[in-house]
Amino acid sequence: MKAFATDAIFVVVVIGLMIGAALLLYWKWVSLQPVIATEVNCRIKLQSYCNELLNGKQPSWNDLEPKTGCEKFDVYEPTKQQCESLFPT
């Protein structure tokens, strides 16, 4: 009976490690996928960019996700004046 319990614990631990490794690989793979440009994602990009710009940082429009495709939703890199009119403080 003692040998059965030891074998069962070993099997459960191995299965747990395999599931954990599979989830970790899947999580890394998902994070490497590019963000698809939707209207919501582009508005979030605009808000993040303006938030950083109005807080005195120098953000890069091209470093924020989604990197391309926002033009079809009329979302372009704004100036500081445009950010101030869009998001008044």
In whole angstroms, what is the distance from residue 19 CA to residue 47 CA? 38
Using an 8 Å Cβ cutoff, are 47 and 83 in contact?
no
CA torsion 70→71→76→77, rounded to 10°? Answer: 70
pLDDT at 73 (0 to 100): 93
pLDDT tens-digit readout, 37-65: 999 999 999 999 999 999 999 999 999 99
pLDDT tens-digit readout, 7-33: 889 999 999 999 999 999 999 998 888
Instruction: Give the residue extent of every domain in the chain.
Output: 1-33, 39-86
Which pLDDT band, with edges at 50, 70 and 90, does 1 fall under? low
pTM exceeds 0.75: no
pLDDT at 75 (0 to 100): 94
In whole angstroms, what is the distance from residue 25 CA to residue 45 CA? 27
